[in-house]
Chain A
Amino acid sequence: MAPEATEQKAVEEITPQEASAELGGGNAKLIDTREPYEYEESHIEGSELIPPGVIANRIAESVPDKSQRIILQCRSGARSYDAAQVLQELGYEDVASMAGGILEWEAQGLPVESNVNLTPAQRDRYSRHILLPEVGVEGQIKMLEAKVLLLGAGGLGAPTALYLAAAGIGTIGLIDDDVVDASNLQRQVIHNTKRIGEPKTASARQTIEELNPDVNVVEYNFHLNADNILDVIKDYDVIVDGADNFPVRYLLNDASVRLKKPVVSASILSFDGQISTFVPYEGPCYRCLYPTPPPPELAPSCSANGVLGVMAGQMGLLQANEVLKLVLGIGEPLIGRLLLYDALGTRFTELKVRRDPECPICGPNAPEVPESEMGKFPDYEAFCGGHVGS
């Protein structure tokens, strides 16, 4: 073995096409120097996995002949380059590293064996996600299999839906019984001038389908109420609440706690936004935060008070970010935290939200809802003191 002080020899680097041609000739041995989980996701046919941490110890077993031609490959070409230097120091005479790794191999349209099924077009479309170790092919497949329901295709729902669609959330449900109005277009970027007068769900569907054909859009062009809510939400993984009135917010909370569905909830007014993520029984619910709604005269609406369109977009994208984290199971969702955003000051404030031991819906003393009562809910219009559900 060479003494440590010896200067490291440069490594021969070859392109994926050159590697492919050599492998086709049958003389070269391909070694994949990544971790097992990466190899499992996808690998080049005929490659042998030897993770970088153990290659110095294992190579002699795999390739006893030091004159054997060896091509090393990893994800992007860095680990395989280092491994090639290790092999050269061990006396292997004919070693090359595949530049750009399996990412470049795939980008050149060369075939891989994969346990997961993204099409080449999808690997291309979502490549910037796949490059993120926290997402990868596996995470992208989770997104494509995810079903996310948006309550409202307006100020919050429009930007949320647009970005979730771009991200490749496979099923997006949209609940909205409104039509596109010119006054919506200052913030509801999923709609456009030509669609004025069309149902918002249909307009949003058209934009999403043009953006990403992988997304299946389900339209609910009606008002969510106690009679239909369980049927609508039961098949979804995550619900995004961008409702504009309190009765629907409380109805959604109570129904989602019953079915144990996580809800990403935001609200906006003027220059201010609030957002939190309610995961039933893991953290507080909407009622733990707001046990009772304010009287209507103390709860102005955007249509009366105005709202900065950009701020609606910012809050909508914070919602989309929460959804992706829940779907992927990564990061720290806003569970038990209420994030306030002040667009004029560009300030975020985070408040703690705790489970309310007295919560009538998710607290330890909350009455259990028998199966026969599952679809029955209290009168939220009365509870909210005359707030009009639109």
Chain B
Amino acid sequence: MPSVKIPPVLRKHTGDQTAVDVAGSNVGEVLNALVAEYPDTEEQLFSGEGELNRFVNVYLNDEDVRVLDGLETAVAESDTVMILPAMAGGRA
């Protein structure tokens, strides 16, 4: 199954797991499967209309799905889907 890498900000919603294996043949299916298993991740990932939030970057392996086919991007069994929200920590 494809593996989804979970960023620190979402780990409290995935039982502190840093990666979760979920089924799906494209990025949308994989993320929906993640949300089905861990419903609290939905708010970070999707807008009310079911679109991927603009402030969340999703990568298939090392490529941004925005430059691929977005949520329709095909995912293979061995692929890694990475969720990457912006972080701002540094100075304090």
Interface residues of A (CB under 8 A from B): 151-157, 176, 178, 241-246, 249, 266-272, 274, 289-295, 298-303, 305, 307, 338, 340, 342, 344-345, 349-354, 387, 390
Contact = CB atoms under 8 A, between A and B. Distances in A.
Given A351-B64, A352-B64, A353-B64, A268 B59 contact: no
A305 B53 CA distance: 23
Interface of B: 7-9, 18, 43-44, 53-57, 59, 62-64, 67, 82, 84-92
B91 A298 contact: no
B57 A244 contact: no
B88 A267 contact: yes
Contacts of A266: 90
Nearest to A337: B62
Contacts of B57: 289-290
Contacts of A293: 55, 86, 88
Contacts of A307: 89
B8 A272 contact: yes
Contact of A300 (B9, B53, B67): B9
A130 to B, nearest CB: 32
Nearest to A354: B67
Contacts of A272: 7-8, 87
B8 A155 contact: no
For the complex of A and B, the 5 pairs showing the least CB-CB separation, nearest first, are A152-B91, A242-B90, A244-B91, A154-B91, A294-B55
B9 A267 contact: no
A187 B36 CA distance: 39
Contacts of B18: 342, 344-345
Nearest to B19: A345
A161 to B, nearest CB: 12
Contacts of B86: 246, 267, 289-290, 293-294, 299
A390 B43 contact: no
Contacts of B84: 274, 338, 340, 351
B88 A151 contact: no
User: Considering residues B7, B44, B54, B87, which has the most beta carbons from chain A within 10 angstroms of its beta carbon?
Assistant: B87
Contact of B82 (A270, A298, A351, A387): A351
B88 A298 contact: no
Nearest to B85: A294
B92 A155 contact: yes
Given A153-B91, A156-B90, A345-B18, 8 more contacts: A178-B91, A244-B90, A268-B87, A270-B8, A271-B8, A290-B57, A298-B55, A349-B82
A269 B89 contact: yes
Contact of B88 (A176, A299, A352): A299
A354 B64 contact: yes
8 contacts: A157-B90, A242-B91, A267-B90, A270-B8, A274-B87, A352-B62, A354-B64, A387-B88
Given A292-B54, A294-B56, A352-B64, A155 B82 contact: no
A293 B86 CA distance: 7
Contacts of A302: 89-90, 92
B85 A243 contact: no
A151 B59 CA distance: 29
Nearest to A272: B8
Given A292-B54, A299-B9, A352-B63, A155 B43 contact: no
Choose among B7, B56, B64 the residue with the greatest number of A CB atoms under 10 Å from its CB: B64
Nearest to B59: A351
A307 B88 CA distance: 12
Contacts of A151: 91
A3 B87 CA distance: 70
Contact of B90 (A243, A270, A352): A243
Nearest to B63: A352
A250 B60 CA distance: 26
